[in-house]
Amino acid sequence: MLVLAAVPDVQFHKLRRTASGRFSVVQTLTWDDVLTVIRGRPVELAVVDPLLSGDARSQEIERLRVLFPSLPLILYTTLTPRTAGVLLALGQRGIQHVVFANYDDHPTRLREVLSHEEARSSSRQLLDQLAARVLYAHRLLQDPGFTIEDVATRLGYAQTKTLQLHARAYLGLTAGEMRLSLSPDDALARVAQRFLTPASARASVS
């Protein structure tokens, strides 16, 4: 897993020692470089300090949340009167993990936080792969020459029943039902609604 560390040198070296042998860590020292690295490299986790530019600011981190909502963020900063209000504002925007330099950033704590986010990232990747598989199955089922069993075999399912379970989980329909009643756009919209829309947004809509 590639970790972006938008933090000063002292925090970066602690992260790198903690991650040695398990995670790759790349440091950036400006917010412009943060955007460049995220866009150009397969970053799966960003560890950021609101004090990166010298002043305690939330705007750049909030911008990351808007531009890259699927990228997990961890705040790694110093607890001071300057950062308290920024941390509160970012917490209200859904950033849950905070590590305080020289307080709880011992190797065990840092390793726990990184490992937790790695597990979440792996789970999300699995969900994404399954969603793509179901959408591909739906596309194949639009061809009348394929049976449901043909599609299950083609996608590597050992049993047709497993495809049916995934179709229900992701689209709310059996494979036969999604073949007859769901357009490609509708299928994509259902997957996005179920798995890409935040839970709070889904609750407000329902």
Taking only the tens place, the pLDDT of each residue in 120-164 is 665 566 666 778 888 888 888 888 888 999 888 888 888 899 888
Asked whether residue 186 carries a pLDDT value surpassing 70, the answer given is: yes
- Residue predicted with more confidence, 193 or 101: 101
Q: Cα–Cα distance between 109 and 104 in angstroms, integer?
A: 7
Q: Cα–Cα distance between 90 and 83 in angstroms, integer?
A: 10
Query: Which residue type is seen at 162?
Result: T
Report pLDDT for 9. 95
Asked whether residue 63 carries a pLDDT value surpassing 80, the answer given is: yes
**Cross-strand partners of 130:** none
Share of the chain above pLDDT 70, in %: 89
Given pLDDT bands bounded at 50, 70 and 90, which one contains residue 205? very low
Average pLDDT over residues 169-176: 86
Q: Cα–Cα distance between 58 and 52 in angstroms, integer?
A: 11
If you ran DSSP here, which 8-state letter would residue 41 be given?
Answer: S
Average pLDDT over residues 14-18: 92
Are 100 and 83 a contacting pair, CB within 8 Å?
no
Report pLDDT for 206. 39
Q: Residue 204: what are its φ and ψ, rounded to 5°?
A: -70, -30
Output the pTM of the full model. 0.62
If you ran DSSP here, which 8-state letter would residue 26 be given?
Answer: E
- What does the CA dihedral 89, 64, 100, 105 come to, rounded to 10 degrees? 160
